[in-house]
Structure 1
Amino acid sequence: MQQQHICITNVKQPRLVATKFFAKPQHEGVGAVVRRSIGRFELKYFDPFLVLDEFSVTAPAGFPDHPHRGFETVTYMLQGAIRHEDFEGHKGRIEGGDIQWMTAGRGIVHSEMSASQGTQKGLQLWINLASQHKMVEPKYQEMLSKDIGEGMKDGIKVRVIAGEALGIKSPIYTRTPTMYLDFSLKPGAHLQQPIPKSWNAFVYVLEGEGVFGNQKSHPASSHHILLLGSGDGLEAWNKSSKQLRFILVGGEPLGEPVVQFGPFVMNTQEEIDQTIDDFDNYANGFEKARHWNSE
């Protein structure tokens, strides 16, 4: 694991919190519980982000065989392990701290199931793809926890999943330009993290309590999502006596129409109809689904 101590760039126009709400638990898959913050009634879409789930599964629960088309899924394990398998023959375990960045593209059918004792916890983010990328071949980018770059400075620790922070750059390729940073702040720590001005960005609090945007803001605690307004970066403070941990995610908006039918996300209703037809008839990327079931 790479660790560096490096200076932090100043933020001149801090982004204020535009919207904040609590992600309540709901049931998904088979016996799984998720806290969905993006992709729910209050927030259907936050361009280019389609879904953010904080999931919790205990064996034999999970997400059995299901399809995707037109976007990417990013699975970040926080605790335990998930067993992944798909109709291309790709299979393996995603352990605590690991990341899997899956481009579904033109089509994938896969399963994600509990792979160890106790409760498995993690985050899954769905990132939309621009129209010209929606039908690319499926692809995986995976990083073990030990290979994710980490930076430390003044009571701040960051794991750089995508993008750059504290001088650490992730090797993950993002077709839709994206940053995905996992920050831990010790009590008293103050963070300034640049974000490209044209991007949408949000914070999701995993642990503890933090102040975001400016020092007069009300603190936000675990399971809260905070959509950030305009500016060139995020300022955050840990004014509590315990560790604060949150993810900061930002992405370049696509500005394209979104038509979604469950696990299929395209630009027009005609494309959705074609996708359903392709899936039902094992065509145009779903050919291998005809004779495949996960183990």
Structure 2
Amino acid sequence: MAAGDASCELQKPRKVVKKLLARPQHEGVGAVVRRSIGRFELRYFDPFLVLDEFSVTAPAGFPDHPHRGFETVTYMLQGEITHEDFAGHRGTIKAGDLQWMTAGRGIVHSEMPAAQGTQKGLQLWVNLSSQNKMMEPRYQEMQREDIATVKRDGVEVRVIAGESMGIKSPIRTKTPAMYLDFTLKPSAHIRQPVPPGWNSFIYVLEGEGVFGRENSTPGGAHNLLLLGHGDGLEAWNKSAEPLRFVVVAGEPLGEPVAQLGPFVMNTEEEIDRTVEDYQRYVNGFEKARYWTSKAMATEDF
């Protein structure tokens, strides 16, 4: 019996159309990320700009840096990261916790290790439409115990955004999106509906699974699997070990993308204005003029 939505009969299950192994690269200061979306083979998968599986051990990290024009979704898998920004927002994101940050017109913040050993997690960048790029910044944060979790027929799903197995997340996404964390025991099988017009992908965290078709080539850890068109996905764990993966889907914006590092707008002219705003501390970056994170003030980077 399939879990996910046991009553769901998919008319057109999505097939895996592209498979990418996310290889380690250096980002921030001494941090290591496995980047799958946002590298040369896959610059953009509308509306997703970047997907990083990060690994950080102090004193490495992501010291003070700006964002404009998109949302960052930080989902911790192991350890703890302390986040602080120029508006006075500060907190620690622990294993299993979620932070959905809408940078909008401007955020300057830092993300640094808060525990011994290696901190691991996923960070997804979700593009904002032209009408939302200059909105006021906001945060939506959920602790591990507050994320809706359902267990059924050898399947566990944590509903970060969207809906699965009859449970909806309270997270409000400016760009319509789904984000689900599945763990399948050996022999478990899921069907998960996905809105037909949305782009979707799977990122495998642990184990090895079969996705799209029962006779497909298995996909293992650190692999990004882009899914084609259809009304949902199917996945099987045919191995003897647990399988863990995230399913992410979003409604394409269909707008031009102009990007310069942490700034994502629609035109090069808007990027030029953003750089000028940041350098002059105006139009959303006013609080950056005299702000330095506590991490930067106490560490030698």
TM-score, normalised to structure 2, is 0.96
What is the aligned partner in structure 1 of residue 249 from structure 2?
Answer: 250
Letter in 2 for 1:140: Y
Aligned with 1:203: secondary structure? strand
3-state SS of 2:121 partner: strand
5 Å-filtered alignment, 1:205-220, equals 205-220=204-219
Helix, strand or coil: the match of 1:55?
strand
- Counterpart code for 1:137: E
> Does the residue aligned with 2:196 lie in a helix, a strand or coil?
coil
Question: Quick one: distance in 2 between partners of 1:6 and 1:204?
Answer: 20
Deviation sequence 1:1-46 (CA, Å, 0-9, x none):
xxxx974422221100010010000000011000000000000000
Structure 1 Cα separation of the partners of residues 269 and 213 of structure 2: 45
- Partner of 2:96: helix, strand, or coil? coil
Say if 1:160 and 1:8 are closer, same or farther in 2 by CA, change over 3 A: farther
In the TM superposition, what is the alpha-carbon distance from 1:151 to its structure 2 partner? 1.0
- Alignment match, 2:19: 20
C-alpha separation between the residues in 2 aligned to 1:8 and 1:43? 35
The answer for the alignment partner of 1:139 in structure 2 is 138
1:79 is displaced (CA, Å) by 0.2
RMSD of equivalent CA atoms = 1.1
Checking the alignment, whether the CA contact within 8 Å between 1:76 and 1:124 is kept in structure 2 is yes
Q: Distance in 2 between matches of 1:10 and 1:105?
A: 38
Contact 2:6 2:191 in 1 (8 A): no
How far does the alpha carbon of each residue in 1:90-109 deviate from its partner, in whole angstroms, 9 at most, with x for none? 00100000000000000000
Q: Distance in 2 between matches of 1:10 and 1:249?
A: 20
AA paired with 1:124? Q
> Which residue in 2 is equivalent to 1:236?
235
Partner AA of 1:145 in structure 2? R
Asked if the contact 2:28–2:63 (Cα under 8 Å) also holds between the matched residues in 1, the reply is yes
Query: Match for residue 264 of structure 1?
Result: 263
Which runs of 5 or more structure 1 residues have no equivalent in the other structure?
none
Rounded Cα–Cα distance in structure 1 between residues aligned with 2:121 and 2:78: 7
- Does structure 2 conserve the Cα–Cα contact (< 8 Å) formed by 1:7 and 1:153? no
Q: Does 1:292 align with 2:295?
A: no
AA at the equivalent of 2:86: F
Partner of 1:108: 107
State the alpha-carbon separation in 2 of the partners of residues 276 and 90 from structure 1.
23
Hey, what does 2:275 align to over in structure 1?
276
Identify the range of structure 1 (147-156 vs 237-246) with the bigger mean alpha-carbon deviation.
Answer: 147-156
Give the aligned partner of residue 56 of structure 1: 55
Secondary structure in structure 2 of the residue aligned to 1:131 = coil
1:167 paired residue number: 166
Q: Name the CA distance, whole Å, in 2 between partners of 1:291 and 1:179.
A: 37
CA contact 1:282–1:289 (8 Å) conserved in 2: yes
Q: Deviations over 1:231-287 (max 9, x none)?
A: 000000000000000000000000000000000000001100000000000000000
- Secondary structure of 1:175's counterpart equals coil
Work out whether residues 151 and 167 of structure 1, in 8 Å CA contact, stay in contact via their aligned partners in 2: no
- 1:97 is the counterpart of 2:96: yes
- The alignment partner of 1:273 has SS state of helix
Q: Secondary structure at the match of 2:131?
A: helix
Q: Partner of 2:117 in structure 1?
A: 118
- 1:270 is paired with a residue whose SS is helix
Q: Distance in 1 between matches of 2:73 and 2:214?
A: 32
**Cα offset, 1:60, TM superposition:** 1.1
Q: CA deviation at 1:152?
A: 1.5
Letter in 2 for 1:32: A
Query: 2:188 is matched with which residue?
Result: 189
Q: Secondary structure at the match of 1:198?
A: coil
Question: 3-state DSSP class of the match of 1:132?
Answer: coil
Structure 1 distance, partners of 2:204, 2:24, is: 15
Contact 1:80–1:121, Cα closer than 8 Å, also in 2: yes
Gaps of 5+ in 2: 295-301
Q: What SS does the corresponding residue of 1:105 show, helix, strand or coil?
A: coil
Which one-letter code corresponds to 1:108 in the other structure? Answer: I
1:256–1:267 CA contact under 8 A, matched in 2? yes
The residue aligned with 2:298 is none
Instruction: Give % identity.
Output: 71
